Amino acid sequence: MSVPAIVSGLAGGEREVDAERRRRREACRVRGSVRVAVVGGGVAGLSAACDLRALGAKVVIIEDRDVRETPSWVAAGLIEPVAGTQDRAGMQRELAAFERSMQVWRAVAASGSPFISRRRVLTVCATSRPPLPWADAVEGFRPVARGEVPARYVDGDAASFSTYVVETSRWLMATRARLARDGVRFVRARVEALDQVTEHVGPVDGIVNASGLGAARLAKDPTLFRGDGHIVRVRPTAGVHDVFMDETRAPEDVAADPYAVNMLYIIPRRHDIVIGGTLWDSPNVDGVPQRLPGMGEHLRALAAEVEPRLARAPILEYLVGARPRRRAGVRVELQADGAVPVAHLYGQGGSGWTLAPGLAEQAVGLLADATWARRVA
């Protein structure tokens, strides 16, 4: 569910958001049949489509592959604060998106959704770090004493907090089905340029570009690159309920050894446990990451060093995916110099699920104000 679908369950500080949304919805109604194309059917594109439908816009989603081949499908779905854009404005935008997304996922969990669960997280870093700007946005954030971490991590800096884990594949399929019932049309096509969108779906009033790595082609963005990742899904194991994140490993390790794991995580979900992984940067945006023989077993063995009960957990599936990383960080920006205004929404890297609701709301707001909303302001 996206922000608009659950906003009625939020209160207090949400009133200004509700008022702005009502203004945009009324503008859409007054103008008539506003039609928007969303390029990309991952979590960002679907979240934007949900927001657009809540505003009353007609929506068509263009996707160039099956949803099961997207990074959103492979992702573990941990709603976790991560380091992103380094410039001050970008950091502020991502922090606002994270805070908004946490409100959304918290409300989804409170609604009793079967697609999300609350988890305690233990994260360990190599060295101490300054106070984190997102600490107030998560529940129960606190530094962790050495006696509370596995013995091999006693020299690191650890913290604990509570967050949410989304059942990614189930959420994607359920949301697609809900959007289809709501009149959203899905079109399978490879679009070579944004000005060709209308050739595939007919006239539109606006475009949301949530195409991930495809934005290298569609937006002519040379700063995009792949962040390849490997995960293994194992069966749920009795007693393993908390998330563990090892952030002590050196990122450069993977360059020398493809089996080196420069980020280890254990993420229990309702129907499986996701173990990862790697963040192996590739200069290419096309193609898919290379599958490595025995990598699934290798990841399970590393996880068992932290949580021995995972040593014999049956492997369900070994997956590889490509995160859409961008050197300049996330792009949420309006481009209004063409025949149709475009709201760009891409470059989230490994934070797609974490930031999707908040960034989608920002992108849809930009598009609405640039098209139908401003015409009746």
Mean pLDDT per 10-residue segment, the chain (377 residues): 35 53 69 87 96 93 94 93 64 85 92 94 71 77 83 78 95 96 96 94 96 94 90 96 85 65 90 88 78 93 95 96 88 91 93 93 92 60
| Cα–Cα dist 123/155, whole Å | 13
According to DSSP, residue 32 is labeled -
Phi, psi of 185 (to 5 degrees): -100, 140
- Determine the 3-state secondary structure of 373 from DSSP: helix
pLDDT of 43 reads 97
**Which residue bears the tokens 């050495």?**
146
Please tell me the predicted confidence (pLDDT) of residue 8. Answer: 31
Helix count (H) and strand count (E) of the chain? 12, 15
Give me the pLDDT at residue 2, please.
38
Residue indicated by tokens 């970008």:
90
* CA-based nearest residue to 164, from 80, 239, 266: 80
How far apart (Å, rounded) are the C-alpha atoms in residues 320 and 172? 18
Strand partners of residue 317? 233
> Could you tell me if 362 and 97 are in contact, meaning their C-beta atoms sit under 8 angstroms apart?
yes
Answer whether 41's CB lies under 8 Å from 176's CB: yes
225 vs 192: CA distance, rounded Å: 18
Is cis: bond before 42, omega within 30 of 0? no
How far is the C-alpha of 66 from the C-alpha of 70, rounded, in Å?
7
Burial zone of 250 (CB within 10 Å; 0-12 exposed, 13-18 middle, 19+ buried):
exposed
Tokens read off for 279 = 């963040």
Rounded CA gap, 247 and 266, in Å? 12
pTM of the predicted model as reported, rounded to 2 decimal places: 0.89
The neighbouring-strand residues paired with 58 are 35
CA 33 to chain CA centroid, Å, is 30
> CA geometry: angle at 24 spanning 19 and 30, to 5°?
125
